[in-house]
């Protein structure tokens, strides 16, 4: 049985200059010898991730998508900074090994980090892996517990004060994601105006406790121990991390949390195995978080609705590129149906909310 997450052949148009990369890595990372082999991790739509093998050592290289310029270059620096600060106190974080802004190597800033080999869960469990209801429940508990550990770190003590702007975070998120949706809307997309208005009217004040938030924390961004799939050994993809409201982070995570009593159309757009027998419900995840935090979370309606709306914005932004011919990737053609399904979901949430 081999359920490990594996890279594949590098996509056409996203190849690296192997000689330049090999020379740079061997000049700057001690102990590398042997031929260099590059493969690519196929998931994701943002920064590109490659597996670099040099002899018997495995590294992971992250770079911006081709064609992106200065703004994305800053993302590489942010990712490297938070990995550098977090790794000593949050061992789930990959250890960064090298960062450069020298564009002579591959035309953009990039960084290299250690690889955390293991299992990554997506919509379907990897072939050969089964989880009993009790095991699935325990895995969900562990997922929540690691997120709470992240939120519990004293970010000022590790040099991340100023990494984000926590004051006014909730309002900026509501306004920012609403603006992004309006900018990406296509004629065949719902307008979401009533949802955006509700979020603007119902947004709570910022949490009194600011925290490091991952902003994309979910099963396909964590690594499981291949010898014990219930144990989380890594957390990946830190490009959206910042200092902000931990309940907004939890809401963004649970926005992806399709459970087994959701309507059929919602089940159809689920991207993670959160509807397997034994998985915690969204309410159970919130209750566990509240118990660990030691205080009640009176109403999570706003945070969950925001998290679900945020996914609609992400889907619509990708679909916008397809609609306007900026990409021919046929995977994106069907995303508009997901946007419409989420429109119905958020409307139902608002109808049922007691806020």
User: What confidence score (pLDDT) does residue 1 get?
Assistant: 47
**153 lies in some domain:** yes
For the chain, give the percent of residues with pLDDT over 70: 95
Co-location of 313 and 198 in the same domain: yes
pLDDT at residue 266 is higher than 60: yes
pLDDT in tens, 2-41: 667 788 898 888 899 999 999 999 999 999 999 999 999 8
| CATH number for position 84 | 3.30.200.20
Q: How far is 159 from 164, CA to CA, in rounded Å?
A: 12
- How far apart CA 202 and CA 196 sit, in angstroms, is 10
Residue 119 lies in a domain: no
Give the DSSP H or E segment for 232.
Answer: strand 228-235
* Angle, helix 335-352 to helix 301-323, in steps of 10 degrees: 160
Task: Count CB-CB contacts under 10 A for residue 227.
Answer: 9
For 211, the 3-state DSSP assignment is strand
List alpha helices for the chain, DSSP H. Answer: 18-28, 70-86, 133-151, 169-184, 193-202, 246-254, 264-268, 282-293, 301-323, 335-352
Confidence of residue 122 (pLDDT cuts 50, 70, 90): very high
Is 72 a residue whose pLDDT tops 50? no
- Structural domain boundaries, residue 294: 133-352
Q: What value does the mean pLDDT take over residues 140-153? A: 98
Domain boundary among 84, 114, 144: 114
- Domain presence at residue 3: no
Give helix 301-323 / helix 193-202 axis angle, nearest 10°: 150
- The pLDDT assigned to 67 comes to 64
Tell if the pTM clears 0.75, that is, is over it: yes
Query: What is the distance between the alpha carbons of residues 199 and 212, in angstroms, rounded to a whole number?
Result: 23
> Does residue 258 contact residue 275 with C-beta atoms inside 8 Å?
yes
Q: How many structural domains is the chain composed of?
A: 2
Write out the H or E segment, with its range, that includes residue 57.
strand 57-63
The per-residue pLDDT for 6 is: 81
């Amino acid at each position: 049985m081999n359920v490990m997450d594996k890279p594949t052949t590098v996509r056409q148009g996203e190849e690296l200059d192997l000689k330049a990369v090999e020379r740079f890595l061997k000049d700057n990372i001690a102990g590398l010898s042997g031929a260099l082999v590059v493969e690519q991790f196929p998931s994701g739509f943002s920064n590109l991730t490659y597996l670099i093998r040099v002899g018997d050592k495995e590294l992971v290289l992250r770079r911006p998508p081709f064609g992106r310029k200065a703004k994305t270059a800053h993302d590489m620096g942010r990712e490297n900074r938070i990995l550098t600060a977090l790794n000593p106190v949050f061992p789930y974080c990959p250890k960064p090994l090298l960062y450069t802004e020298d564009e002579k190597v591959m035309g953009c800033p990039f960084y290299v980090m250690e690889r955390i080999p293991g299992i990554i869960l997506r919509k379907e469990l990897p072939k050969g892996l089964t989880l009993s209801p009790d095991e699935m429940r325990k895995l969900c508990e562990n997922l929540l517990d690691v997120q709470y550990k992240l939120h519990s770190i004293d970010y000022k003590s590790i040099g991340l004060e100023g990494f984000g702007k926590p004051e006014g975070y909730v309002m900026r998120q509501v306004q920012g994601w609403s603006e992004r949706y309006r900018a990406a809307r296509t004629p065949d997309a719902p307008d979401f105006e009533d949802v955006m208005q509700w979020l603007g009217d119902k947004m709570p004040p910022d949490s009194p406790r600011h925290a490091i938030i991952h902003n994309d924390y979910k099963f396909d961004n964590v690594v499981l121990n291949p010898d014990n799939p219930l144990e989380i050994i890594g957390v990946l993809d830190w490009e959206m991390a910042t200092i902000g409201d931990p309940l907004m982070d939890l809401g963004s995570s649970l926005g992806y949390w399709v459970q087994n009593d959701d309507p059929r159309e919602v089940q159809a757009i689920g991207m993670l195995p959160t509807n397997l027998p034994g998985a915690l419900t969204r309410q159970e995840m919130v209750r566990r978080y509240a118990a660990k935090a030691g205080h009640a979370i009176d109403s999570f309606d706003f945070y969950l609705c925001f998290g679900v709306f945020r996914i609609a914005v992400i889907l619509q932004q990708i679909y916008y590129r397809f609609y306007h011919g900026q990409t021919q990737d046929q995977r994106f053609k069907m995303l508009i149906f997901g946007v419409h399904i989420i429109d119905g979901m958020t409307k139902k949430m608002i109808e049922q909310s007691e806020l």
